[in-house]
Amino acid sequence: MFEKLNQLIPIGNFIRNKSIQNFLFLAVIQSSNVLISIISMPLLIQSIGVDQFGLVNLALSVIILLNIWVGFGYNLSAPREVAINQKDKEALSHLVSNVFSAKLLLATFAALAIFIGIFGFNLFEDYQWILIFSLLLLFSEATLPLWFFQGMEKMKLVSIANIFSKLLFLMGIVLFIHRPEQSLWVNFLMGFFGLGINLFLLGYIHSLMDIRFYRPEFAAIWISLKDNVLLFFSNLASHISINGGLIILSFFSAAETLGMYSLAERVIMVLRLFPALIIQAIFPNAAKLYKEDPPSFYKFLKRVYVRVVLVGAVISLGTYAAAPWIIQVLSRSNLADSVMYLQLLAAVPFLACLNVAHILLLLVADLKSLLFRASWMMCLYMVLVSAFLTANYGGMGLCLGILSTEIIVFLICLVLLYRHNPKLIHGFYS
Distance CA 69, CA 67 (A): 5
How many angstroms separate the CA atoms of 244 and 72, rounded?
20
Q: For residue 235, is it within any domain? A: no
Q: Are residues 255 and 185 both part of a single domain?
A: no
Enclosing domain of residue 44: 12-216
Question: Are 205 and 317 contained in the same domain?
Answer: no
Crossing angle of helices 368-420/336-345, nearest 10°?
Answer: 60
Q: Report the 10 Å Cβ neighbour count for 267.
A: 20
Q: Residues 82-94: what's their mean pLDDT?
A: 89
Confidence of residue 1 (pLDDT cuts 50, 70, 90): very low
Q: Amino acid identity of 189?
A: L
Residues 20, 157 share a domain: yes
pLDDT-based confidence at 108, cuts 50/70/90? Answer: very high
| 223 located within any domain | no
- Please tell me the pTM assigned to this model: 0.71
**DSSP assignment, residue 120?**
I
Which residues, including other chains, have CB under 8 Å from residue 54's CB and lie 6 or more apart?
none
402 and 354 inside one domain: yes
Mean pLDDT lowest among 112-116, 149-153, 340-344, 407-411: 149-153
Residue at 87 is within a domain: yes
Q: Examine the domain organization and report whether 175 and 282 are in the same domain.
A: no
Lowest mean pLDDT among 44-48, 111-115, 232-236, 356-360: 44-48
Which of 216, 237, 259 is the last residue in one of the domains? 216
**Which residues are within 8 A (CB) of 277 and not within 5 positions of it... i.e. 6 or more apart?**
23, 26, 27, 30
The per-residue b/e assignment along 360-395, b for 16 or more CB within 10 angstroms, e otherwise, is bbbbbbebbebbbbbbbbbbebbbebbbebbeeebb
The tally of domains found in the chain comes to 2
3-state SS of the chain: helix, strand, coil percent to 5?
A: 90, 0, 10
Q: Is residue 171, in this structure, part of any structural domain at all? A: yes
Mean pLDDT of the chain: 85
Q: Are residues 265 and 392 in the same domain?
A: yes
Residues 329 and 186 placed together within one structural domain of the fold: no
What region, left, alpha or beta, does residue 124 occupy, with left being phi > 0 and alpha being psi -120 to 50 degrees? Answer: left
200 and 139 fall within a common domain: yes
Q: Mean pLDDT throughout 126-135?
A: 90
Q: What percent of the chain has pLDDT over 70?
A: 88
* pLDDT more than 90, % of the chain: 46
| Rg from Cα positions in the chain | 22
Task: Tell whether 43 and 134 lie within a shared domain.
Answer: yes
Question: Is residue 200 included in any domain, yes or no?
Answer: yes
Position 268 pLDDT exceeds 90: no
Any domain includes 224: no
More confident residue, 370 or 238: 370
The residue among 241 and 235 whose pLDDT is bigger is 235
Q: Indicate whether 242 belongs to any domain.
A: no
Asked if residue 144 and residue 95 are part of one domain, the reply reads yes
- Amino acid at site 182: Q
- Angle at CA 137, nearest 5°, toward 135 and 138? 75
Query: What one-character-per-residue DSSP string does 332-364 give?
Result: SS--HHHHHHHHHHTTHHHHHHHTHHHHHHHHH
pLDDT per residue over 159-179, tens digit each? 889 889 989 999 999 999 888
Phi (first) and psi of residue 272, to 5 degrees: -70, -10
Q: What is the mean pLDDT of residues 289-311?
A: 92
Euclidean distance between CA atoms 344 and 398, whole angstroms: 10
Are 58 and 182 in a shared domain? yes
Answer whether residue 208 is part of any domain: yes
Confidence category of residue 60, pLDDT binned at 50, 70, 90: confident
Q: Which of 179, 174, 71, 59 is nearest to 124 (CA)?
A: 59
The CA distance from 405 to 354, in Å, is: 13
Does the pLDDT of residue 7 top 60, yes or no? Answer: no
CA dist list (Å): 405 to 26, 238, 242, 399:
26, 11, 10, 10
Q: Which of 216, 231, 256 is the last residue of a domain?
A: 216
Show which of 175, 200, 216 is a domain's final residue.
216
* 41 and 189 share one domain: yes
User: In the predicted model, what is the mean pLDDT of residues 343-358?
Assistant: 94
Question: Is residue 35 very low, low, confident or very high in pLDDT (cuts 50, 70, 90)?
Answer: confident
Q: Is pLDDT above 90 for 192?
A: yes
Looking at residue 159, its pLDDT comes to 85
pLDDT of residue 246: 66
